[in-house]
Amino acid sequence: MSRRRLLLMFGGVSSEHEISLRSAASILAAVPRDRYDVRLLGIARDGTWRTGPTTSALADIIAHGELVGDLRALDFDVVFPCLHGPHGEDGTMQGLLEVFGKAYVGSGVLASALCMDKVAQKQLVRAAAPDVPLVEFRSVDARSLVDDIDAAELASEIARELGLPCFVKPANLGSSVGVEKVSSAETLAAAMRRAARYDHRLIVEAGVDAREIEVAVLGDGGPDTFVSSPGEIVLPAGVWYDYDTKYVKDVATLSIPAALPEAVASEIRRTALRAFAVTGCHGLARVDFLLDRHSGTAYLNELNTMPGFTSISMFPKLCEHGAIAYPDLIDRLCELAIARHAAKAGLSVW
């Protein structure tokens, strides 16, 4: 059987550019070359597209590779858009690939955009699955922070409503970029302003003394969809899971499977699949939970439609624990993408 032509996209214009390179390097090393002929497309921080040989370092391709003027000239069957954050994971790249009529790994336009926006994601889940526990949250329009007095009043109101500590996040970023833990109303307004450097919409969430639990979902949402055992991000006392903890200081450890009662683990897996279906995800998602240490409530936190694929990332490790090796994971994702593309091609458009 002839090899499929796989286009691996990496880099991007978002603040998660470096994480994308790490993820893509791991994918490139694991692609089963007997099944796939790999082509590369690196996207620079300024939006420039370049390509180069698979023997080159990915950062070198972005810096010095051959310019790409037309994506279709790369001649591929399926795309693995290993792009994290805005302009890659938020439906924009998915929309471009839909316009070009190309098969691609991961969720479609709507689910990608929805799951990137933490406010919209929670609002949909609350409306469609009201029994799924969510931490209390507030959406904040960054324009309400321009005036110092208005910002201070808003911060006091949110602190009273959600309690302290609370967490401030840009609504449309990942990898904990721009996220801050706030312990006083006086510092909340400043934290929201800093988060507003990344997005015009923010989310403020009530703080919970919780364990970080994550589940990998792989499939099309049907009966054959794989839902992993829950894994846990284990942190030293007093440390929370920010960007430095994840990617710089490397103080977190992964516990797979998480030490949970079977009933709790089963309920988390059931909720993960339900959230995957409700949001319209396809192919893959890492579904994150906050497990309250005191009440035992497993709060659905967020769904990541293109989770990290680095050597330390939870998603591939959860799949590996479920007997899905990294090369098989890539193969399955590509097959899911091609099957969905073929099914859509069979639909009537007029």
Residue 59 pLDDT greater than 70, yes or no: yes
Give the model's confidence band at 311: pLDDT under 50 very low, under 70 low, under 90 confident, else very high.
confident
Whether 113 has a pLDDT exceeding 90, the answer reads: yes
Instruction: Judge whether 180 and 191 are in contact, CB under 8 Å.
Output: yes
Structural domains for the chain: 4-105 (3.40.50.20), 115-133+208-305 (3.30.470.20), 137-206 (3.30.1490.20)
Mean pLDDT of 168-185: 87
E runs forming strands in 44-109: 49-51, 66-67, 78-81, 103-104
Q: Are 284 and 333 in contact (CB under 8 A)?
A: yes
How many Cα atoms are found within 13 Å in the side-chain-facing hemisphere of 256?
Answer: 21
Query: CA 44, 83, 342, 340: dihedral to nearest 10 degrees?
Result: -170
Query: Has residue 326 got a pLDDT over 80?
Result: yes
**Quick one: average pLDDT of 209-226?**
97
